[in-house]
Structure 1
Amino acid sequence: MSYNIPSQPVKFIFEITFFFLILVPAGILWACVKKCLPVKRKSVKGQVILITGAAAGLGRQLALLFANLGAKIVCLDINEEGNDKTAQMVKETGAVVASYKCDISKRDQIKDIHQRVKKEIGPVDILINNAAIVWGHIYLDPTKDQLIDDIIDVNLKGQFWMNREIIPSMIDRKSGHIVTISSLAAVCGVAGISSYTATKWATNGMIESMRNELNELNELISSSIKTTTIMPYFINTNPKISERLDCRFPEIPIETAGRLIVRGILEEKQIFSVPNHMYPMYMFIRFLPENLQKVFSKIVHIKFIPDDEEQQIIDRYQGKM
């Protein structure tokens, strides 16, 4: 049997024809109509929102924004001092807040913290997987083995462990929202941040697979547990990262990024970028011939500048030494 022939070919032809001739035009039309209609944003008042990587940057910004909306905030971070500072800032808004030191690459710590959160604050309504190691290195640098392991452990495995720990309680309550702070690096490979990029591509795939598993598990459960994947452009949160970036477009101010991310979460968008136009733009570029993709990459350049040691490795491979 040819590998091009599907099982139940007659049924397949009918289903695929119906999909493209009826469902696709109707779906596009309905999507256009919805764009013109006001989007209802859900209330998070009184809900428990757990944010990883809350000690600084985007995590802190999201904690403060959701606190002002009346949510109960749970701050998780390995940086205890910064995490406690975020919690104090949230407390000053009048919101209920709790702070826990946690290394999300350690499953036992996640399990212990989750039990404490349920007992002290309540079951988690919204999980925001924000914690990540954001750093670059050239692909062939032999001294970066540990950094690669750390990036994968936190950025990818950490999200596995967080989701697997908390989703069962959401299934029991038939309510919940898993938010993934991914990156535009998940749709375009940026020179100098291969490890970070790999984790973001993997995270997007993991969330899509997880969502499909929930669909197969139970339609009621899958419709009750929302997933949102957010792919921001570089956000201005860390001066050390900013000075190593060579980008055609400037970094996004953290206040702008936080506001757009919160809006997307409240609207329960499934996947979007910040700014909103960048995700569809990069998906379109993927359909262009390879030579045009290279030209586009040079026009809209993004690069993580190598340090002196990495530059020596580059020079050696380029035959300059």
Structure 2
Amino acid sequence: MNILKTVTGTTKLIGELTVLSFRLTLSMLAAAFRCVIPPFKKSLLGETVLVTGAGHGIGRELAIKLGGMGCIVICWDINKDRNLDTKNAIVDAGGEAYDFVVDISNRIEVREAARLMRKYRVPDVTILINNAAVLMHKSFLDHDVDDVERTFGVNIFSQFWTVETFLPGMLQNKKGHVVAICSLCGIYGVTQKVTYCASKFAVRGLMNGLREEHKSRPFVNFTTVYPFYVATGLAQDPKYRFSWIFGAISPEYAAAEVIEAVQRNYNDYIIPKWLHPLNFILGILPQSSVDLILNFLSSKKSQK
């Protein structure tokens, strides 16, 4: 009897492994196909998009571009004047936009802003873009408590508050997209940015967890975007070798790439896109090799 059970169990396991191998093969072929022919772009016409940090940098460019694509844009920023300027730029161009002054690190303010949106009959949010961030360029031991709390409040806690506020409506309406503007500092540690890196690693974990938790609901998408270095004034120029590859990109370019990632429903997207192969290579190398490559690339010595 025990022998029969063992044989039956072994046969079942072999069958499951065969099915798994077949599905893995199909998955890898599909991924290879998508490298050559990307998914079709979905239309964003008529979508209601909330952009945090809309008063400056990538957030401003995102809001303006999305307004020009026929989206209803909701601008959130702690800076009233900058936020209003973004909203007016959209309206002056013939788009529809709303502006709300919100400290997104404050859960109560996030909830109150959502209540005001309902009061003013703003359409339900269908795309949430968590873009706002702060970065303090200091060594770890030079940070004080306020630096750490502010960094985590804006960079990660705010995303908990916005997602918990708007995700239920997306699930109820069976339509939605959550986007997190993370950073390559959410994949690789960087000196003088330890607190920032930690907050961005947390963003990556949040989005991966949300995607896994809601994978049975394909009508809601989760996209994490990893910009390398965008010339927004947030960070100091890292001075990498080969500036034609690792130089700063403009907020306009970054915003266009974010929108493409949303339209194609990518799970993860690195900006600029030509860094994808390097990230893949670094992902399969031992840490000692990764350190050698990164040290070489970050050298400030000019090439002979």
TM category, shorter = 0.7 to 0.9
1:83-232 residue pairs with structure 2 within 5 A?
83-120=83-120, 121-141=122-142, 143-215=143-215, 219=216, 222-232=217-227
Query: Which among 234, 255, 260 is matched to residue 258 of structure 1?
Result: 255
Residue deviations 1:170-210, cap 9 Å, x none? 11111111011011111111111011111111111111111
Q: What CA distance in whole angstroms lies between the structure 1 residues aligned with 2:12 and 2:150?
A: 48
1:225-304 residue pairs with structure 2 within 5 A?
225-238=220-233, 241-242=235-236, 245-248=238-241, 249-301=246-298
- 8 A contact 2:139–2:192 mirrored in 1: yes
Q: What CA distance in whole angstroms lies between the structure 2 residues aligned with 1:10 and 1:76?
A: 58
1:8-157 residue pairs with structure 2 within 5 A?
14-16=15-17, 18-19=19-20, 21-37=21-37, 39-120=39-120, 121-141=122-142, 143-157=143-157
- 8 A contact 2:222–2:267 mirrored in 1: yes
Q: What CA distance in whole angstroms lies between the structure 2 residues aligned with 1:150 and 1:14?
A: 53
Stretch deviating more after TM superposition (10-19 or 272-281)? 10-19
Q: What CA distance in whole angstroms lies between the structure 2 residues aligned with 1:45 and 1:51?
A: 16
- 8 A contact 1:61–1:258 mirrored in 2: yes
- 8 A contact 1:50–1:128 mirrored in 2: yes
Q: CA deviation at 1:241?
A: 3.0
- 8 A contact 1:191–1:302 mirrored in 2: no
For residue 308 of structure 1, what is the aligned residue in structure 2? Answer: none
Note the aligned Cα RMSD (angstroms). Answer: 2.1
Q: What CA distance in whole angstroms lies between the structure 1 residues aligned with 2:11 and 2:139?
A: 51
Residue deviations 1:141-167, cap 9 Å, x none? 2x5321111101110100011001110
**Any idea what SS the aligned residue of 2:188 has?**
coil
Stretch deviating more after TM superposition (47-56 or 22-31)? 22-31
Residue deviations 1:91-148, cap 9 Å, x none? 111111100000011111111111222342210010000011122210122x532111
Q: CA deviation at 1:11?
A: 5.8
Q: What CA distance in whole angstroms lies between the structure 2 residues aligned with 1:110 and 1:10?
A: 55
Amino acid at match of 1:234: Y
**Any idea what SS the aligned residue of 2:225 has?**
strand
TM-score by length of 2: 0.88
Q: CA deviation at 1:302?
A: 8.1
Given the superposition, is the C-alpha separation of residues 150 and 9 from structure 1 closer, same or farther in structure 2, using an over 3 Å criterion?
A: farther
Given the superposition, is the C-alpha separation of residues 18 and 101 from structure 1 closer, same or farther in structure 2, using an over 3 Å criterion?
A: same
Given the superposition, is the C-alpha separation of residues 174 and 296 from structure 1 closer, same or farther in structure 2, using an over 3 Å criterion?
A: same
Q: What CA distance in whole angstroms lies between the structure 1 residues aligned with 2:283 and 2:45?
A: 41
**Any idea what SS the aligned residue of 2:285 has?**
coil
Amino acid at match of 1:150: R
Question: For structure 2, which runs of at least 5 residues remain unmatched after alignment?
Answer: 1-8
Percent sequence identity over aligned pairs: 28
Amino acid at match of 1:242: Q
Question: For structure 1, which runs of at least 5 residues remain unmatched after alignment?
Answer: 1-7, 304-321
Q: What CA distance in whole angstroms lies between the structure 1 residues aligned with 2:11 and 2:213?
A: 27
Q: What CA distance in whole angstroms lies between the structure 2 residues aligned with 1:256 and 1:67?
A: 16
**Any idea what SS the aligned residue of 2:93 has?**
coil
